[in-house]
Structure 1
Amino acid sequence: MSSWRQLELHPRIVNALQKAGVQSVRDALCMSGPDLQRLTCLSASDVRRLLTAAALLCRARRPQPVLAADDFGLRLSLGCPVLDGLLRGGLPVGGVTELSGESGVGKTQLALQLCLSVQYPARHGGLDSGAVFVCTEDTFPSRRLQQLIREQSRLRADVPPHVTDSLQFGDRVYVEHAADLTSLESCLRRRVRLLLARHLVRFVAVDSVASLFRSEFGLSDWLEKTKQLLTLSSTLHHLCRQFNSAVLCINQVTDIFSGSEEYMGPPSSTVRPALGLAWANQVMVRLMLRRLRGTVSRGEEDSALRRLEVVFAPHLPRAGRDAAVWKEGVRGLDGADAPLG
């Protein structure tokens, strides 16, 4: 507990606090302004000065405007220059990013791709650390992960072969399973936190956030659902800020009906991210991966056409890039890749 000697307060204020039996900064912050006034007989201006000084002492670091932080913030590369260009370098480190989309569109594959990208040195867009993948609905796609590992030299042709060959990708991806909200919260607060504290990981993927809320709450449980959403969000934000890590939450989507209210999704989309505005207000970056009509071919491979879109972000405009899923992963399309009808 912090003592009053750590604060630059007038001795008169400190004496009043000690006479009233308020021994620590924590004690003062647990009281309201009027209660402190009545207890210490200090003026309203003195109490405001006291609470401001106490809050400044408890603050871990000075607040920084998001746009100012963006100039110096770390990014976690997606492993594709086209998609990294859309996101100005990749996912922001120290923030929560949401990726929503329909089933089978490639959300999990992109999360797996990031689990490998984080292991590269910073000069190649990584964080030189591991990843933890938290599954809440399906089994972990280990076979697809192994395929992505085998194809890394093809996806990351920009990285010298000796760097890629030196990385033990499979040994630095940790897998957790959570069957309900209680076990998810426990997993994040204990096991994931331990991995972060030991510097074993700096990327956390949760696949998905919506499944547990949909299975545990009905329409009449909206208040409790909102409380649980805020609790989960608080935990994720605390982890990514304390350990300077990137967090990706995969979300499901729901259909949009005519006359629906603003849903904070792409204007041309017929679906919207699940969990409503309560969750939307908790994420720093919202991305959506959509399936488009048409296919794209490359040699003997064909892929359905996708589009990765920025729905909102404090440092990015609304924009999108076409993409496709290949053996080596999700890649944005450039001018050389022509979609077929």
Structure 2
Amino acid sequence: MDWDQLELNPKVITAIKKAKLKSIKEVLHLSGPDLQRLTKLSSIDVQHLLKTVSLALRNNCVLTALHIYQQKEEFPTQHKKLSFGCSVLNRLLRGGLPLVGITELAGQSSAGKTQIGLQLSLCVQYPYEYGGLESGVIYICTEDVFPDKRLQQLIALQHELRTDVPGEIIKKIKFGNSIFIEHAADIITYTVDERGLAGTNMDVLERVSPALGITWSNQLLMRLMVSRSSCEFSRDTDASATGTVVRTLSVIFAPHLPQSYCHYMVNAEGVKGAE
């Protein structure tokens, strides 16, 4: 690093060279007190040094959220989403699950959380052009037994669920070889609030709030909630053992989405939105 190119006091430059700091990275890795000790500079000089090298590092270019949004080709990861394998659910989330940040899916028992998780573990293996990531998945199971039979059923019926994907492509994907299962202790508990979901048309539903504390909540990009409804679309005896009860997927909060919801059902072939 040529320190003489920076707008620094010659005294500061001399001190940096004596301290044998050769790059901006080395300077920024040190705290203010550490820099004072190494360079023998005053706190004001050290603050000015840190500010100057920071400006030089970013080249005086501030990227706003609007700029990132408008330059999708330069920031592909920020705009890539994982498809649910269902147009209704994808439409609710404007394309699917974002890859950046943490998405939390919570809900009461038998609302469909596991079914959505299993379906996503298959969707991630599809090619990019069909909403997948051409990748494997790590499935951390907190239940007593992993629902392997249900997973095998979903794999066998992918051609019925994913009618948007050519059959020859589905046949080439070895779904069972790319799912890595790990068991962990159940660390999730839930609290039920009878007041309903304020601000939506779903006040008849119970509100289920994940009870993992404020620290965890502050790490989330998006929270989705699933719930069961008392009504049913049909009583088809050929349906999966999961039944055809109407379920609801709700967006509780997300920086890019309004509070909204859609209905879906869990059938033998997987999770399907109800329109």
TM-score normalized by the length of structure 1? 0.65
Residue 5 to residue 35, structure 1, CA distance change in 2 (3 Å): closer
SS in structure 2 at match of 1:255:
strand
Aligned to 1:116: 122
Q: Quick one: distance in 1 between partners of 2:219 and 2:153?
A: 34
Q: Quick one: distance in 2 between partners of 1:264 and 1:285?
A: 17
Higher RCO, Cα 8 Å, sep 6+: 1
Structure 1 residue 292 and structure 2 residue 229: aligned? yes
- Compare CA radii of gyration and give the structure with the larger one: 2
SS in structure 1 at match of 2:247:
strand
Aligned to 1:315: 256
Structure 1 residue 306 and structure 2 residue 247: aligned? yes
Question: For 1:65-121, what per-residue CA distance to the aligned partner results, in whole angstroms no more than 9, with x for missing partners?
Answer: 456545630010000000000001100012211100112211111011011101111
Which is further off, 29-38 or 153-162? Answer: 29-38
Q: Which runs of 5+ in 2 are unaligned?
A: 73-78
Which is further off, 143-152 or 63-72? Answer: 63-72
Residue 148 to residue 54, structure 1, CA distance change in 2 (3 Å): farther
The amino acid of 1:79's aligned partner reads: G
Question: Aligned-pair distance for 1:292?
Answer: 1.4
SS in structure 2 at match of 1:294:
strand
Question: Aligned-pair distance for 1:55?
Answer: 5.0
Which is further off, 112-121 or 139-148? Answer: 139-148
Q: Quick one: distance in 1 between partners of 2:4 and 2:246?
A: 60
Aligned to 1:129: 135
Residue 146 to residue 34, structure 1, CA distance change in 2 (3 Å): closer
Question: Aligned-pair distance for 1:312?
Answer: 0.8
Residue 296 to residue 315, structure 1, CA distance change in 2 (3 Å): same
Aligned to 1:162: 168
Computed over aligned residues only, the root mean square deviation of the Cα atoms, in angstroms, reads 3.5
Q: Quick one: distance in 2 between partners of 1:280 and 1:266?
A: 24
Residue 117 to residue 171, structure 1, CA distance change in 2 (3 Å): same
SS in structure 2 at match of 1:284:
strand
Q: Which runs of 5+ in 1 are unaligned?
A: 180-210, 213-250, 335-341
1:77/1:125 contact within 8 Å kept: yes
Q: Quick one: distance in 2 between partners of 1:160 and 1:310?
A: 31
Q: Quick one: distance in 2 between partners of 1:96 and 1:63?
A: 25
Aligned to 2:40: 40
Equivalent of 1:153, from 145, 148, 159? 159
In proportion to residue count, which structure has more helix?
A: 1
Residue 153 to residue 283, structure 1, CA distance change in 2 (3 Å): same
The amino acid of 2:40's aligned partner reads: T
Count of residue correspondences: 257
Residue 329 to residue 122, structure 1, CA distance change in 2 (3 Å): same
1:263/1:277 contact within 8 Å kept: no
Question: For 1:146-198, what per-residue CA distance to the aligned partner results, in whole angstroms no more than 9, with x for missing partners?
Answer: 1110110111011111111111111111112334xxxxxxxxxxxxxxxxxxx
Residue 177 to residue 26, structure 1, CA distance change in 2 (3 Å): farther
* 1:190-201 correspondence to structure 2 within 5 Å: none
The percent of aligned pairs where both chains have the same amino acid is 40
Aligned to 2:183: 177
Residue 42 to residue 150, structure 1, CA distance change in 2 (3 Å): same
Q: Quick one: distance in 1 between partners of 2:40 and 2:49?
A: 12
Q: Quick one: distance in 2 between partners of 1:333 and 1:83?
A: 9
Which is further off, 128-137 or 302-311? Answer: 128-137
1:103/1:252 contact within 8 Å kept: no
Q: Quick one: distance in 2 between partners of 1:115 and 1:147?
A: 13
The amino acid of 1:177's aligned partner reads: H
1:265/1:272 contact within 8 Å kept: no
